[in-house]
Structure formats: C-alpha cells, structure tokens
Chains A and B, each alone.
Chain A
Amino acid sequence: MLKRFLVWLMILTLSVGMVSFANAEETTTIRVLWWGSQNRHDLTTKAVELFEQKYPNINVEIEFTAWDGYWSKLSTQVAGNLVPDVIQMDYQYIAQYAQSNVLADLTPYFESGAIDISNVADTVLSSGKVGEGIYGMPIGTTARVMMYRPDVLEQANLTMPVNPTWDEFMSISKQVYEATGRTNIVPSDIDDLRFILRDYGLNLYSDDGKSLGFDDPKHLVYLWERQMTAVNEGWQLPVGETTALSMYDGFISDDWAECTHWSSELAAFQTGSGTRLELAMYPHSSDATAAATYFKPSMFWSVSNASANKDAAATFVNFFINDPDCYDIVGIDRGMPVSSAIREHIAPTLDETSQRVAAMHDYLGQEGMTSAIMNTDIPAHGEVNRLFADYSEQVSYGMVKDLTAHAQAFIEEANAIIAEKSKN
C-alpha cells in the first residue's frame, strides 16, 4: 500500500517537475514600451500583471516614459538595435517607423486570428495601414473636437450647435466677447489647415506623399483671414496678451472655447481647468463638400520587426484589444476601445465625463458626420509643420501685407522641402 502510494507520489512529482521544467523552457520574455502619465503607468502595470497570470509562459518587462522624451528614447533604442517587442506608437510617427522596417506587418496575425479583429471596424483598422501592410493595431479612437464652457455661454444667453459652421462659431464668439469679455481663439496650426482642406475633400499631402495635397493659396488665406478678423473684432487676444501659462489654463484665464483638443482629453482638461466643459464638433465651412472630422487612433500597439518573440507580442496585443478583464482594469485610458464588444462591456462602468465622450463618439459615428482618416504623415511633416508655424507667426505679427503671396510662398517652400526629403 505504502509502496504503491510512494510510486504514485514519485510519478506525480516527476510529472509536475517535468511540466514546470517544460514551462521554464518555453517561457519567453517580451519588452513593452509606452508613454503616458501616472494613471496609465499604474493601470497598464496592473493589466500586465493580469496578462502574466493568464499567460504564465510569457514574461513581460515594462518600460514607460512621459510623452516628452519618448521618441528620443525609442529612436535611440532603434539605433542601438535594442527595440522593445511591443511599442506604443503614434499616428504621427507610424509611417516613418514602418517604412524604415522597424515595425512588423500585423496582417498575418489578423489572418491567423492571433489578434482577433472581428469586432473592430475596417475604417479604424485601416488607420494603421502604411503601404500594403498594417503596422499598428489601433488601441483607442479619438476625434478633434471643440471644448467649451457652458457656464460662459449661459451668461451670454447663447447656445452652441453640436455641429457649428465657422460663421456660427465666429458670430457666437463675438457675442460672447461683447457680453462677457471672454475671448476665444481661431485655431490655426497645421491640423486646422488640414480641417479646412478636408472640408473640400482635399488632404494636406498628396497621395504619393511627394508634394502638398493642394496648390490653391485660398485655403491658407481663409485660415489667416479668419484669425485676423477675430483679433480685429477684439475677441481673440493679440499675440502675447494671453495670460495662459500652460495648455489648459486658457479656460481659466481668458478663453471660453478651444478647438485644438481631442475628445479623449476631456477629463484631463476638466481636471486641469477645474471647470465643466462640453463638447461640440470642430466647426466646418458652410460650403463644405465633405465631412472634415475623422476618427483618429489615439495610439497603436506595434510589434518590432526584429522581435524574436512576435507570437508572444501578438498575444499581448490581442489581450489589450479583446480581453474584457483587461478593460475592467484600464478602462478608456487609451481612448474609446476599438472593439465594439469591449465598448459594450465597459459602457456601464463609465463615469459621467466618459459617457459624454462616448455620446459624442456615437454622434460622430452617424452616417456622413465623419470621413476616413487621411494617409499617415510623410517623413517631411515635422519640417513642414515648423515652416507653417513660422509663416503663421509672421501673419499674426502683422508682418504680411499680401496674404495670397505669402500663402504661395509657403506652398512653394513646403513643396521644395518635401521633394528634397522624398528624393530617396
């Protein structure tokens, strides 16, 4: 009896030992890198712990930074051949990294089902497309919107339509200023130029990425003229008279509405400014022929092309897209989840602010409210962006007499930069 028991015991220990031995042998380690702030670092770490529990044979090493410094760190790691297996990626950089062969095409993992995309809309998925492959799995979506202070509008006895035209936006701004003294800003960075172009079905860059996507200076002239009107009418502060010190105290110091933010940032701006903010769509031209607003992936998970553990990396990505338990932890920290099943799953848990963001996304989700996102930015974008800022600054300093000629000069100079950079 005892003997038999001992034999069984031996077999048992041996097999347990072998299982654990096998496990030890199969354990793979993947490195994951992301940017974010305290909340994201905490939540993601917890989600990673859950992942390791669910997949005991995959060990995850985490690294995180702030946004500031992230790209220096990543490009340095690429230069040193020390690329993390899973990389949080931004729309602005994905093309450059994909074209440089740093990222792996995820299509095979979609086909094998390793990354389940059955609940992800094609339009969303295709935002990670560069050339023929998909190099980034969108994690969440966001949209450029207007944030405004309802209390100021109320004071002036005005309301903001959900989908305002520029004329409405300008006239409301003027009336608010007259009634309350609160100012507003005509948004005028390169993304706003994008919106103006998209009103007419145009893009900032041509499809082949070898030039700007437009040659008519009138679009730029519109943008700058609107800005000058606002300053002349008094409801936009001239350069240097704003008292805002950081991104979101504009709502406290001078402004009552801002069109330069993303829907996913609502909670941050409410906390930062300590006021309740409401959302409206980004204004559009009254003669617009297309919907300018688009859903943008707030960020992607990309997999390193040099990774030795791509399968494990894909498992991780899938976990972060489709696992309800994961979303019980992370919520909408990285934007509205891309999987419709997950969106349903977390809907009841959303707080009031997140619910309003979700409602806005539902509104935008209706037919005709948005159009597809433009191609990923070309490598010369950083330089073109900088050039545009310089040209706009000259306008706001009143240094430009002939806006059309100024716009023409920008178009020529930008095209020259793009041509130079896309030579090779």
Chain B
Amino acid sequence: MRSIRQTLEKESVAGYMFILPIIIGLIVFTAIPFFTSLYLAFTEYDMLTAPKWVGVDNFVKMFTKDKLFWKSFWVTFKFAIIQVPIKLLVSLGVALVLSRNSKAIPVYRATFYIPSLMGGSVAVALMWKQLFAYNGPINNIFSVLGIAPVRWLNDVSTALGVLIGLGIWQFGSSMLIFLAALKNVPASYHEAAIVDGASPVRRFFAIVLPMITPVFFFNLVNQTISAFQAFNSSYLITSGKPLNSTLYYGVHLYNRAFTFSEMGYGSAMAWFMLLVIAFFTALIFKSSNAWVYYESEVK
C-alpha cells in the first residue's frame, strides 16, 4: 500500500497521472483519425469507393497544377497577417476598458461579446452583407460625406477587408481570456505602484503587461492557428468571390474535398497547412523566451 502511495507521489508518476486524460484522448480519439488523414493524403479518395494509393501525386498537383492552391494560400496568409495583430490589440484594449469597476460593466461585457456569441450564423452573414451592400448603411454614410459608393464585397481590393473586419469585430473570446488574465494581476502590485506615483500608462506597461504576457502568448498562438484555418466568413458570405480574392485555403480545401469529392487531395492540402501552421507556431514559441514573463519561473 505504502509503496503505491509513494510511487504516486513521485513527480514523474504524478505528472503522468495529471496528463493522463490528454494521453487517453490522443491515443483513443485522435491518433487513428490523425494518421488516417496522413495516409489519405497519399491516395485518391472520393469517399464512396476505397482509397487508391497514388504516392506524392496530390502534392505534385498541389504545387504545380492547381492555380487556386497558391492563390488561396496567399489570401489566407494576408488574412492572418492583418487580422491577428489587430484583433489581439482590439480585444486587449476592450478588455482593459471593461475591467474597471462599475455597475454597468456586466451589460457592457455581454454587449461586446454578442458578436462572438452569434458566431458564424446565417443572421450574421446576412447582416454583414446588408451592411456592406451597394445601397447599405456604410455606403449611405459615405454618400452623406460625399464619397462615391463602394462595391465592398465585389471589389477585389475591398472584399477581403470586409471579411477581416467581420473577424476582428468578433473579438469576444480573446477579450474574455484577457479579462481573466487581468483579474489575476494582484491588486497589491497596483497599490504599490500607486504609492510610488506611477501613472496609469506606466502601471500598464510596467506591471500589467508583463504579467499578462503568458496569456497574450496563448491568444497569439490561438488566433494564428484559427486564422490559418479560417472558413466560415468566406464560405457563408462571399464563397471566395470576387475573382477568388476571398478564397480562403480552408474553403478551397473544402471545395476540393467535398464538392469535387477529392478527399485525398484535401487531406494533402490539410497536411501542408499543418506544416505551415507548425512553422509559424514554432516561431512564436521560440520568440516567446524573449518576451513572455512567467512569474513561476522567476527565482
């Protein structure tokens, strides 16, 4: 008995006890589908008949023949590069603004969270289309200001921007995570700084910001991965139009895999995307040593 207890208390055993759920999850629920999709990347698979091994054909086709592959890749890249930083700053900014003490705060928070609650629903898609329609509210404001109307969703130079705008506007979940992080900044630190006469701005940069860098780091990784996997806004609002300028990689993948019944090719695309995301995530992780501050690792 005693020895079992002692074993369980060893750090290495306890470690595995704690992460046991994810190990079970990875082995039971994830491993087989994950590697099956890797296998499928090397096959031709229409989902109705058994997959046929074709070697690296899918990858060759991807890099050399499929014009929309690179097109959609760059669209997604542009989307991610623009959306992620703006969305992070906006959600952090709003979280800061909504972290003060006031009776109205719960209502405000709910209000700012509503766009994210509504997610990728039909209503949001229709509403956003209507907002940017040729005779919609945005163009109406423009005409009052004497600016010519813009074909927002049908102009190659603006359509992607409209979708990025939608993504930024749904900043709710990262705001929520920042709120939780802000709550964890001990009040005593603030009090000490106030006694020292530090201005709010200085307090933010000297105390708050360093303490929330771990969560900022998480949000950055999270938002980067989901930006590269973006799907809904393009699928529901523009379906890639105009002239494929809003064709996300995810939508192209979906079209290939499901509409054209090329699940093998779709899997190959997915695995290429995994490598791309892994590359950027690795960069973020590497850089994090330089700017993320962990209280627990300060000695």
Q: Mark A58-86, 1 if CB is under 8 A from B, else 0.
A: 00000000000001100110110000000
Q: Is the CB of A75 within 8 A of B260?
A: no
Shortest C-beta distance, A32 to chain B (Å), equals 20
Q: Mark B223-249, 1 if CB is under 8 A from A, else 0.
A: 000000000000000000111100000
Contacts of B155 in A (CB 8 A): 240
Across the two chains, which residue of chain A brings its CB closest to B254?
A72
Q: Is the CB of A379 within 8 A of B255?
A: no
Q: Mark B256-278, 1 if CB is under 8 A from A, else 0.
A: 00111100000000000000000
B19 at the interface (CB under 8 A from A): no
Q: Is the CB of A245 within 8 A of B129?
A: yes
User: With A239-B151, A240-B151 as given contacts, are A245 and B47 in contact (CB-CB < 8 Å)?
Assistant: no
Please measure, in the bound complex, the distance between the C-alpha atom of A399 and the C-alpha atom of B243, giving whole angstroms. 11
Please measure, in the bound complex, the distance between the C-alpha atom of A397 and the C-alpha atom of B154, giving whole angstroms. 10
Task: Please choose the segment from B101-109, B130-138, B214-222, B281-289 that sits at the chain A interface, where 4 or more of its residues have CB less than 8 A away.
Answer: B130-138
B126 at the interface (CB under 8 A from A): yes
A242 at the interface (CB under 8 A from B): yes
Contacts of A96 in B (CB 8 A): 46, 48, 261
Please measure, in the bound complex, the distance between the C-alpha atom of A393 and the C-alpha atom of B48, giving whole angstroms. 32
The range of chain B's interface size is 20 to 34
Contacts of B151 in A (CB 8 A): 239-241
Shortest C-beta distance, A340 to chain B (Å), equals 35
Shortest C-beta distance, A421 to chain B (Å), equals 9
Across the two chains, which residue of chain A brings its CB closest to B153?
A240
Please measure, in the bound complex, the distance between the C-alpha atom of A383 and the C-alpha atom of B265, giving whole angstroms. 13
B49 at the interface (CB under 8 A from A): yes
Please measure, in the bound complex, the distance between the C-alpha atom of A230 and the C-alpha atom of B260, giving whole angstroms. 32
Contact of B46 among A71, A100, A383 (CB under 8 A): A100
Across the two chains, which residue of chain A brings its CB closest to B48?
A100
Please measure, in the bound complex, the distance between the C-alpha atom of A390 and the C-alpha atom of B47, giving whole angstroms. 26
Shortest C-beta distance, A379 to chain B (Å), equals 7
Shortest C-beta distance, A82 to chain B (Å), equals 13
Shortest C-beta distance, B243 to chain A (Å), equals 6
User: With A240-B134, A242-B134, A243-B134 as given contacts, are A397 and B47 in contact (CB-CB < 8 Å)?
Assistant: no
Interfacial residues of chain B within 99-152, with CB under 8 A of chain A in the complex:
126, 129-130, 133-136, 151-152
Q: Is the CB of A382 within 8 A of B126?
A: no
A232 at the interface (CB under 8 A from B): no
User: With A239-B242, A243-B133 as given contacts, are A383 and B260 in contact (CB-CB < 8 Å)?
Assistant: yes
B129, B130, B259 pick with most chain A CB within 10 angstroms: B259
Contacts of A118 in B (CB 8 A): none
Q: Is the CB of B258 within 8 A of A386?
A: no
Please measure, in the bound complex, the distance between the C-alpha atom of A394 and the C-alpha atom of B245, giving whole angstroms. 12
The range of chain A's interface size is 20 to 34
Q: Is the CB of B134 within 8 A of A79?
A: no
Shortest C-beta distance, A156 to chain B (Å), equals 23
Contacts of A379 in B (CB 8 A): 46, 261
Q: Is the CB of B135 within 8 A of A393?
A: no
A97 at the interface (CB under 8 A from B): yes
Contact of A100 among B49, B52, B135, B242 (CB under 8 A): B49
Q: Is the CB of A75 within 8 A of B47?
A: yes
Please measure, in the bound complex, the distance between the C-alpha atom of A424 and the C-alpha atom of B242, giving whole angstroms. 34
Q: Mark A18-42, 1 if CB is under 8 A from B, else 0.
A: 0000000000000000000000000
Shortest C-beta distance, A396 to chain B (Å), equals 9
Contacts of A153 in B (CB 8 A): none
Q: Is the CB of B259 within 8 A of A79?
A: no
Q: Is the CB of A239 within 8 A of B48?
A: no
Please measure, in the bound complex, the distance between the C-alpha atom of A76 and the C-alpha atom of B45, giving whole angstroms. 12
Q: Mark B157-197, 1 if CB is under 8 A from A, else 0.
A: 00000000000000000000000000000000000000000
Across the two chains, which residue of chain A brings its CB closest to B135?
A243
Please measure, in the bound complex, the distance between the C-alpha atom of A380 and the C-alpha atom of B256, giving whole angstroms. 11
Shortest C-beta distance, B241 to chain A (Å), equals 7
Contacts of A424 in B (CB 8 A): 44, 52
Contacts of B126 in A (CB 8 A): 245-246
Shortest C-beta distance, B242 to chain A (Å), equals 7
A sample of 6 cross-chain residue pairs with beta-carbon separation below 8 angstroms, ordered by A number, consists of A75-B48, A102-B48, A386-B255, A386-B259, A390-B244, A393-B243
Which 4 residue pairs of A and B lie closest in terms of their CB atoms, listed nearest first? Answer: A240-B154, A240-B151, A100-B48, A75-B47
**New A-B pairs, 19, CB < 8 Å, besides A96-B48, A399-B243:** A75-B258, A75-B261, A78-B48, A97-B48, A100-B46, A239-B154, A240-B152, A240-B153, A243-B134, A243-B136, A245-B126, A379-B261, A382-B255, A390-B244, A393-B241, A393-B242, A393-B243, A394-B243, A397-B242
